[in-house]
């Protein structure tokens, strides 16, 4: 289905044929733009940015590139093409035709999940609100803005579903998506990680590596949904999401490469000397990694969850890549959970959050292997590690317990003494912030990060990706 760009809201859902929905969304559009102006990267509203915009929903050639001022970006509603005669792939309704409307009895559960998904999108734009002011290069500045405008579009994707399928309740929820704010003491975003500040670029790269990857897994599981418009929306969002994780993986990789260059140059592994030379030592990289990885683990919810069981049973949310499993009903199967009180056997349906978390952890390891290879090739023995999924948790049975990164339960006193070795502390943040000086000459990089291997869309690295003048 092609995208119609002649309408106020670009779309491939035949919006013009549903006047009521079109009016409701056109009413929401100026509110979105007001929110973007207040909470988005507004210092750059007048600048041309080299951005990609979706022009189709095929995996091949789906985007076009060109200079756009961000407030003029064509945020729209794009669903992947329907799969003919698609059936529900899991749970109690396995094999039945997918739903084109939300079944009445599942309305509030679907709404809750769509609102939770929708809430993360503007939250991340709010978290990154000021990062543009300290960009390490024009290339990175452009990538930040690309991520921001696409998170804005993902908000549109969820708002379309709320307006189109949930009546007045949906419209009210869509308003509230612009009313909650990341880190707001009175009206925060729903999930923990999305209230954490992202005020430096190392955090941004960790966030796009680890937290956007939670997005990948949650979207994959919703792409399995029995509610077909949700499944199709998420399938297309995944196409855009891949670049966000690329920004994270290459961003962290470039920070490491620069540290290794400085280590070689000075012939030292001493963090103080590396810092004094303006690069980020690997121990600090590990602490930032520990923070964002564990915070992102919380985003999967509790290990044993009746919500997860009921979402799976009723066809709302499957497992990522559901087809790779043999049993799609999972009525009898069980799962052994390691809890602080020992092994606990629960029904597999109740353990779906943990099943997803396990797949997520495996996927996280891929980038670590690449980063560690870089370190090894440079001749160093340091190995970056994902901490245990029991460490530094705020959700689930390990929440709030004094566990070390290897997963051992230790005394609270020892934990408090050693936590500064494991998570970024005040000193780390002050140091990392001190490096965040803006570099805007095309092709130049801040001293704490190596240049990327290549530019965007086959352009050179020194292309003027953002016109600041």
Distance of closest approach, residue 216 Cβ to ligand BYC, in angstroms: 8
Q: Whose CA is closest to 304, among 267, 272, 278, 343?
A: 343
In the complex with ligand BYC, the residue whose CB is nearer, 56 or 192, is 192
- Segment near ligand BYC (CB under 6 A), from 96-104, 169-177, 295-303, 432-440? 295-303
Distance of closest approach, residue 387 Cβ to ligand BYC, in angstroms: 17
**The tokens of 48 are what?**
């041309």
Total residue length of the chain: 469
Residue 40 lies near ligand BYC (rule: CB under 6 A) = no
In the complex with ligand BYC, the residue whose CB is nearer, 112 or 328, is 112
In the complex with ligand BYC, the residue whose CB is nearer, 40 or 277, is 40
Q: Whose CA is closest to 223, among 212, 211, 238?
A: 238
Residue 348 lies near ligand BYC (rule: CB under 6 A) = no
- Which residue(s) pair with 339 in the sheet? 342
In the complex with ligand BYC, the residue whose CB is nearer, 10 or 301, is 301
**The tokens of 55 are what?**
């022009």
Residue 113 lies near ligand BYC (rule: CB under 6 A) = yes
H-helix or E-strand spanning residue 69: strand 63-69
- Between the alpha carbon of residue 285 and those of residues 197, 335, 365, the distances in Å are 17, 34, 15
CA 43 to chain centre: 23
Q: Both ends of the chain: CA-CA distance in Å?
A: 39
Give the angle subtended at the CA of 356 by the CAs of 253 and 344, to the nearest 5°: 125
Q: State the CB neighbour count (10 A cutoff) for residue 307.
A: 17
**The tokens of 99 are what?**
């739903």
- Segment near ligand BYC (CB under 6 A), from 68-76, 116-124, 171-179, 420-428? 116-124
Residue 305 lies near ligand BYC (rule: CB under 6 A) = yes
Residue 354 lies near ligand BYC (rule: CB under 6 A) = no
Q: Which of residues 387-416 bind ligand BYC (CB under 6 A)?
A: 395
Residue 54 per-residue DSSP state? E
In the complex with ligand BYC, the residue whose CB is nearer, 52 or 319, is 319
Alpha carbon distance 173, 168 (integer Å):
9
Residue 75 lies near ligand BYC (rule: CB under 6 A) = no
**The tokens of 239 are what?**
């196409």
Alpha helices (H) along 267-392: 271-276, 282-298, 306-313, 352-377
| Contact letters for ligand BYC, residues 175-214 (x by CB under 6 A) | ----------------xx------------------xx-x
Alpha carbon distance 425, 271 (integer Å):
15
Residue 339 lies near ligand BYC (rule: CB under 6 A) = no
Alpha carbon distance 420, 67 (integer Å):
44
In the complex with ligand BYC, the residue whose CB is nearer, 362 or 458, is 362
- Segment near ligand BYC (CB under 6 A), from 6-14, 74-82, 298-306, 413-421? 298-306
Residue 120 lies near ligand BYC (rule: CB under 6 A) = yes
Helix, strand, coil in percent for the chain, rounding step 5: 55, 10, 40
Residue 298 lies near ligand BYC (rule: CB under 6 A) = yes
Binding ligand BYC (rule: CB under 6 A), the pick from 11, 218, 294, 314 is: 218
Measured from each CB, the residue nearest to ligand BYC is 301
Residue 456 per-residue DSSP state? G
In the complex with ligand BYC, the residue whose CB is nearer, 189 or 277, is 189
Distance of closest approach, residue 117 Cβ to ligand BYC, in angstroms: 4
The answer to whether the CB of 47 falls within 8 A of the CB of 133 is no
Distance of closest approach, residue 215 Cβ to ligand BYC, in angstroms: 3
Binding ligand BYC (rule: CB under 6 A), the pick from 229, 301, 318, 320 is: 301
Interface contacts to ligand BYC, rule CB under 6 A:
112-113, 116-117, 120-121, 124, 151, 191-192, 211-212, 214-215, 218, 298-302, 305, 307-308, 317, 353, 395
């Amino acid at each position: 289905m092609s995208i119609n760009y002649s309408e106020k809201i670009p779309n491939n859902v035949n919006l013009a044929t549903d006047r009521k929905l079109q009016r409701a969304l056109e009413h929401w559009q100026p509110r979105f733009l007001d929110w973007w102006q207040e909470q988005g990267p507004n210092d750059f509203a007048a600048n041309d940015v080299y951005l990609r915009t979706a022009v189709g929903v095929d995996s091949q050639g789906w985007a076009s590139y060109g200079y756009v001022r961000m407030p003029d970006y064509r945020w729209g509603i794009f669903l992947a093409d329907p799969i003919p005669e698609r059936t529900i792939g899991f749970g109690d309704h396995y094999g039945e035709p997918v739903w084109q409307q939300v079944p009445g009895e599942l309305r509030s559960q679907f709404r809750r999940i769509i609102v939770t998904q929708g809430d993360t999108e503007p939250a991340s734009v709010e978290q990154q609100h000021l990062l543009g002011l300290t960009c390490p290069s024009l290339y990175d500045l452009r990538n930040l803005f690309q991520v921001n405008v696409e998170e804005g579009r993902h908000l549109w994707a969820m708002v379309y579903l709320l307006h189109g399928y949930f009546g007045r309740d949906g419209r009210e929820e869509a308003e509230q998506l612009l009313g909650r704010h990341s880190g707001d003491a009175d009206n925060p975003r729903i999930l923990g990680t999305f209230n954490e500040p992202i005020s430096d670029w190392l955090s941004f790269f960790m966030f796009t590596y680890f937290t956007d990857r939670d997005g990948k897994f949650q979207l994959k599981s919703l792409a399995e949904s029995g509610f077909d418009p949700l499944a199709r929306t998420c399938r297309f969002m995944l196409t855009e999401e891949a670049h966000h994780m690329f920004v994270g993986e290459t961003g962290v990789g470039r920070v490491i490469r620069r540290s290794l260059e400085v280590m070689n140059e000075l012939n030292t592994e001493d963090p103080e000397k590396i810092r004094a030379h303006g690069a980020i030592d690997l121990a600090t990289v590990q602490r930032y990694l520990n923070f964002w990885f564990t915070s992102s683990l919380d985003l999967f919810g509790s290990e044993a969850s009746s919500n997860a069981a009921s979402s799976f049973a009723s066809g709302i949310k499957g497992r990522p890549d559901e087809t790779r499993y043999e049993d799609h009903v999972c009525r009898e199967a069980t799962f052994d959970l390691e809890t602080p009180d020992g092994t606990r056997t629960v029904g597999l349906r109740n353990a779906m959050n943990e099943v997803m978390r396990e797949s997520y952890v495996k996927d996280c390891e891929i980038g670590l292997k690449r980063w560690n290879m870089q370190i090894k090739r440079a001749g160093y023995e340091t190995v970056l590690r994902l901490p245990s999924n029991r460490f530094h948790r705020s959700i689930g049975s390990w929440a709030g317990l004094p566990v070390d990164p290897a997963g051992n339960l230790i005394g609270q006193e020892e934990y408090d003494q050693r936590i500064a070795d494991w998570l970024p502390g005040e000193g780390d943040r002050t140091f990392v912030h001190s490096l965040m000086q803006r570099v805007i000459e095309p092709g130049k990089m801040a001293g704490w990060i190596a240049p990327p291997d290549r530019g965007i869309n086959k352009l050179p690295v020194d292309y003027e990706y953002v016109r600041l003048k």
